[in-house]
Structure 1
């Protein structure tokens, strides 16, 4: 919408909102995404405000398309990978941080890149373990007003404005999901992955919960209350595996990858 009392909404917003930044530490120069006081997702989903705001949604489609294109182009040639989720609030001296590092290291030793949300806590631990073992450490950051940018152990990173674009990359370029203890964000990604498997949107996609003490209550609830209410089926509780052993995680991931290699499934014509 243009006129004497308005400006191009997309261009006006771009003047005050830093663009997501792709970094690649394998190149001489890189920079981290800036922290923001508000987020693009927040502004997109807010229906309040002047009429001009509604008309700007069409312009945002171009930005959304560009975000998908950037993600696809940057991540298209990474090796086989595993996405690791976990809390951003886990301190470095916590046992879960050590577990995250051990997992990242084991996955790198097995020939997998590690993909995380690129933040601190367990995400940093998994990236760090992978990087220190010589693997490719990938971080997919997101605009958040209260958390840091990409952690220093990310070798290849992409900053996203939109959660839905970022979530697509987590699934598209990974052979498995591993969830360590985490909060709402981790639960969101966990159940989204389970829904994709349950509905056949992705196949042969291992989902592993690492830490039985943390995940035990949720698993018990799914296997009793949810199942007894008939809101899930008995086979749905077999869509994930719970373990405390990093070596078990790697074995599960490897088995899933080998099954995919042996039978990749239907291919689009």
Structure 2
């Protein structure tokens, strides 16, 4: 039995921000952790719906109506007249003269030749090709509900030193933007920001489980991956936990947004 090797994920784009101090205005740091913690989270985007094939009119789908009894084609009418004339000739006596209708005139010969030829050149229905917009509709529906079914899984939580972070556009992302354009991507920038906020919330859960209630420094790294029609957002969130005494409830670290979140919109 052969082992199936999965396709590798292609790096589309990378956004990184180095850990920066958090402005805890008016708060008092009671106890500070000796090191930072890093949480790695994976958000699998929903696969886009397959685009429906373009519609083309089909002649076989339209019901075929039988011709009215009084509208037989010219060859059928001529052959019927010929059979009637032959039957009347065989029933008549040998002394009676032949009726004039049984004789085949040159005009009848021309009609019996031209009618089938003209019927064989009937114009067929033109084949129309419609550009289906279901791919964009599925792309837009996909972009709106992409994070609704995504699951964040913590892959690792380890101690790491702060790294210098910045935006790293890849050649693949540049070519993808030029060819497909932003409207055809399998994700929106708003999806990246929502995933980033969800990753921060997961890290805060780990901080609270460790007996802390806030962060004094935060940093993050976002990597956009693609495999065929699938997209994946990989986030590494770095923070230094601490026990902080806040003056007001709305100043708690749990409700804050990641620092430099607008960087996703700028690139």
- TM-score (ref. length: structure 2): 0.21
- TM-score (ref. length: structure 1): 0.21
Larger Rg: 2
Which is helix-richer, 1 or 2? 1
Which is strand-richer, 1 or 2? 2
Higher RCO (Cα < 8 Å, 6 or more apart): 2
